[in-house]
Amino acid sequence: MGASQWRSGETRPRGSGLVKVVGRTGILAACLAATACGARGVAGATDGGAASPRVGEAVQSHEHEHAHASGQEHAHTHEPGHEHAHGQAHGGGHAHGVDLPATAGPGYTVADVQFMQHMIGHHAQAVVMSAMARTHGASEQVRALAEKIDISQQDEIELMERWLAERGQVVPTEEQRNAMFMPGMLTPEQMAQLDAARGREFDRLFLEFMIYHHQGALDMVEALFAEPGSAQDPDLFRFVTDVDADQRDEIYVMQGMLDMLAATGGSEF
Closest Cα partner for 24 from 163, 173, 147, 181?
A: 147
Cβ neighbour number for residue 87 with a 10 Å cutoff: 9
- The residue range of the domain holding 38 is 26-263
pLDDT given at position 264: 82
Residue 110: inside a domain: yes
Can you tell me whether residue 13 is helix, strand or coil?
strand
pLDDT given at position 192: 98
pLDDT given at position 99: 83
Can you tell me whether residue 108 is helix, strand or coil?
strand
User: 198-236: string of b/e by CB count within 10 Å (b at 16+)?
Assistant: eebbbbbbbbbbbbbbbbbbbbbbbbbbebeebbebeeb
CATH code, 47:
1.20.1260.10
Residue 2: inside a domain: no
Query: Which residues are 13's β-sheet partners?
Result: 18
- List per-block mean pLDDT (blocks of 10 residues) for the chain, which spans 269 residues: 36 34 46 47 39 47 40 35 35 58 97 97 98 97 97 97 98 95 96 98 98 98 97 98 97 96 74
Residue 10: inside a domain: no
Residue 18: inside a domain: no
Residue 190: inside a domain: yes
Domains held by the chain: number:
1
Residue 4: inside a domain: no
Cβ neighbour number for residue 135 with a 10 Å cutoff: 10
Residue 158: inside a domain: yes
Residue 131: inside a domain: yes
pLDDT given at position 265: 74
